[in-house]
Amino acid sequence: MADSTRGPFARALLQQCLHAKLQIQRGLIIYVCFFKGASEEIIPKMVNTLVNVKLSETESGEYVSVLDLPGSILVIPQATLGGKLKGRRMQYHSNIEKEIGMELYSQFVTQCRRELTANTKFAESGVALKYGTYGNRQVLKVDTNGSFSHMIDF
């Protein structure tokens, strides 16, 4: 999604899980990071992409979106994903300012909820949207039969 003339503004890492604490059942874990220059304009495209990308395996081995599974979503703010290696340390100079990042993260979660509740399959199935607190340490248990990690830049 990102092109070389403007560099990525946001990064999402997706993992499949059977369980993850902050507790969700079967579904998708989305780790989110915003870079300097990101604005609220990218949020609808990010959310639309992430809830619709066909990465979730059904019982019959077909890949569908988390919305169509339907599965739960666990959103984890993960600013460390913006780190760049410098010698033996990671530096985070490309990351967005904390206050703006917090606001974008909040909008991201809100728009995820909106997409999910608009989907009848999701709304009827009792699956959940959970999300970590921006800026906090993310204490997490994950149980997966194939973490199946994917990275998407926006």
- Indicate which single residue of 54, 98, 114, 121 sits in contact with a copy of itself (rule: CB under 8 A): 54
Query: Phi first, then psi: what are they for 56, rounded to 5°?
Result: -100, 125
**Binding mask of the shown chain, residues 100 to 119, with x at each position contacting a copy of itself by CB under 8 A:** --------------------
β pairing state of 72-77 and 27-34: parallel
**What gap in Å lies between CA 15 and CA 99, rounded to an integer?**
27
Q: Is 80 in the site for a copy of itself (CB under 8 A)?
A: yes
- Indicate which single residue of 30, 47, 53, 69 sits in contact with a copy of itself (rule: CB under 8 A): 53
Q: Is 93 in the site for a copy of itself (CB under 8 A)?
A: no
Which one of 35-43, 47-55, 104-112, 120-128 is the stretch in contact with a copy of itself (CB under 8 A)?
A: 47-55
Nearest CA-CA partner of 34 in 113, 135, 112: 135
Q: Is 152 in the site for a copy of itself (CB under 8 A)?
A: yes
CB 39 within 8 A of CB 154: no
| Count of C-beta atoms within a 10 Å radius of residue 65 | 17
The sign one gets for the Cα dihedral 45, 24, 134, 110 is: positive
- Indicate which single residue of 30, 43, 81, 116 sits in contact with a copy of itself (rule: CB under 8 A): 81
Which residues make up the interface to a copy of itself (CB under 8 A)?
1, 4, 11, 13, 31, 49, 52-55, 63, 65, 76, 78, 80-81, 83, 85, 88-90, 137-152
